[in-house]
Amino acid sequence: MPVTFDARESPGVGYAPLSPARIRWEILIVLMLSLGASAIYAILSIAHRLTREESLSEQTASLNQSLSDSPLFDLFYQVTGIFIGLAPVALVIFLLWQENKPHCARLGLAGRPRWSDAWGGLLLAAVIGVPGIALYLGARSLNLNVTVIPAPLDTFWWTIPVLVLAALKAALLEEIIVVGYLFARLRDLTWRPWSIILTSAILRGSYHLYQGFGGFVGNVAMGIVFGVCYQRYGRTRPLIVAHWILDIVSFVGYAWAISLFPDLFGV
């Protein structure tokens, strides 16, 4: 049965019924404006890497590169990129906004934040993070991953705060779109729970293919764990917290670890 808006919730606005075809087009448009486009570029990137003479482990991928030689304009570019990068999040909030409270319930953002969200996110980060480091090192040793080069931490005084903001942007973008939005719309299409979980997880892995096959496998596993948790509890905040912690460790902690143990990380 087509999903329709209740006219009482949007007085004076004539929305067309959301047929399955319309929902599919909406999903495609949202993803092409966000992480679906990233997935396409990542797939092209890994395909290009496989044509090179160097092995994957001899190739590099840089995280959070500087965008200008000028410290002031680099800061402006970085902060502007973070806020513009959140536009797809605003779009899906707009699309799934409910007139009655809780407005963002369909995105897993019902109710007020609570301490259990933080503790759940911390636990998820630990469950994902420790095996993730081992997977990265193992994949590099097996020539299945590139060497990831993080941004140096001492470039400017504002480098670490901006990296923390960039980690928050990534957490909001991925968890609200790949979990909250995608789960809601695929449920509208009457997909089964495990079909939704696996689709979301494979999408998550695909836009990390620029790192290599280890990055793909690790993020698919992360997506399955996150998807199962969301299916059970229906809350995206713990996933956002977990992702934020993991990306802070990746952007800041990883750079610090490389500076101390360069031989271990092959940099």
Secondary structure element (H or E) that encloses residue 62, with its range: strand 60-62
Whether pLDDT at 37 is above 70 = yes
Q: Is it the case that residue 162 has pLDDT exceeding 60?
A: yes
Is pLDDT at 35 greater than 90 in this prediction?
yes
Q: How far apart are CA 140 and CA 55, in angstroms?
A: 10
**For 222-249, what is the mean pLDDT?**
96
Say if residue 2's pLDDT is above 80: no
Q: Considering the entire predicted model, what is its pTM?
A: 0.88
Mean per-residue pLDDT for 148-164? 85
- CA atoms of 97 and 92, how far apart (whole Å): 8
User: Average pLDDT of 13-26?
Assistant: 78
pLDDT of residue 6 exceeding 50: no
What length does the chain have? 267
Among residues 174, 172, 169, 149, the alpha carbon closest in space to that of 64 is found at: 149
- The helix (H) or strand (E) run that includes residue 61 is strand 60-62
Q: Average of pLDDT values for 185-202?
A: 98
Please name the helix (run of DSSP H) or strand (run of DSSP E) that holds residue 60, with its range, or none: strand 60-62
Arithmetic mean of pLDDT over the chain: 88
The bridge status of strand 147-149 relative to strand 60-62 is parallel
Cis (ω within 30 of 0) for the bond into 152?
A: no
Give yes or no for residue 171 having a pLDDT over 60. Answer: yes
What is the DSSP annotation of 173-210?
A: HHIIIIIIIHHHHHHHTT--HHHHHHHHHHHHHHTTGG
Write the CB contacts of 95 (distance below 8 Å, at least 6 apart in sequence).
Answer: 26, 30, 181
pLDDT value of position 15: 47
Tokens of 111: 């109710």
**Stretch among 105-119, 138-152, 207-221, 230-244 having the lowest mean pLDDT:** 138-152
Q: Say how many CA atoms lie within 13 Å of 132 toward its Cβ.
A: 21
Are the C-beta atoms of 224 and 201 separated by less than 8 Å? yes
Compute CA 92 distance to the chain's CA centroid, rounded to the nearest angstrom: 14
Rounded to whole angstroms, the Cα distance separating 175 from 191 reads: 19
The CA distance from 40 to 232, in Å, is 30
- Whole-angstrom Cα distance, residue 133 to residue 128? 9
Per-residue pLDDT, averaged over 237-258, amounts to 88
pLDDT tens digits, residue range 73-116? 999 999 999 999 999 999 999 999 999 889 999 999 988 888 89
